[in-house]
Amino acid sequence: MLATTDSTNAHALRIDPATPTWIVAGEQTGGRGRRGRPWVSPRGNFYGTLTMRPRGPAATVALRSFLAALALHETCVVLTGLPDSFRLKWPNDVLLNGGKLAGILLESSGAGGGAGGVARLAIGIGVNLIAAPPPESVEPGAVPPVSLLSETGIRITPEAFLAHLAPAYARREAQFLAQGFAPARRDWLGLAARLGQPITARTGSHSRTGIFADMDGQGALILDTPTGREAIPAADIFF
User: Do residues 43 and 159 touch, judged by C-beta distance below 8 A?
Assistant: no
The pLDDT, as a whole number, for residue 137 is 73
User: Do residues 88 and 181 touch, judged by C-beta distance below 8 A?
Assistant: no
pTM score of the predicted model: 0.92
Element (H, E) at 203: strand 198-203
Predicted confidence (pLDDT) per residue in 31-40, tens digit: 666 555 665 6
The pLDDT, as a whole number, for residue 200 is 95
- Pairing outcome for strands 86-89 and 21-25: unpaired
Q: How far apart are CA 51 and CA 118, in angstroms?
A: 12
Q: How far apart are CA 203 and CA 132, in angstroms?
A: 25
Give the angle subtended at the CA of 145 by the CAs of 23 and 191, to the nearest 5°.
Answer: 80
Pick the CATH number of 8-190 from 3.30.379.10, 3.40.50.150, 3.30.930.10, 3.30.70.920: 3.30.930.10
Q: How far apart are CA 24 and CA 33, in angstroms?
A: 16
Query: What CATH fold (topology level) applies to the domain 198-238?
Result: SH3 type barrels. (2.30.30)
The pLDDT, as a whole number, for residue 32 is 63
The pLDDT, as a whole number, for residue 42 is 81
User: Do residues 117 and 57 touch, judged by C-beta distance below 8 A?
Assistant: yes
The pLDDT, as a whole number, for residue 163 is 98
Domain with CATH 2.30.30.100 in the chain: 198-238
Burial class of 175 by CB neighbour count within 10 A (0 to 12, 13 to 18, 19+): middle
The pLDDT, as a whole number, for residue 39 is 59
Residue 16 DSSP code? -
Domain with CATH 3.30.930.10 in the chain: 8-190
From first to last of its 239 residues, what are the pLDDT tens digits of the chain?
888 888 899 998 898 788 999 999 998 887 666 555 665 668 899 999 999 999 899 999 999 999 999 999 999 999 999 999 999 999 999 999 999 999 999 999 876 655 667 889 999 999 999 999 887 777 777 899 999 999 999 999 999 999 999 999 999 999 999 999 999 999 999 999 999 999 999 987 789 999 999 999 999 999 999 999 999 999 999 98
What's the mean pLDDT when you consider all of the chain?
A: 91
Q: What is the dihedral of CA 202, 203, 205, 209, to 10 degrees?
A: -30
Between the alpha carbon of residue 38 and those of residues 29, 120, 123, 137, 138, the distances in Å are 10, 23, 17, 10, 10
The pLDDT, as a whole number, for residue 4 is 85
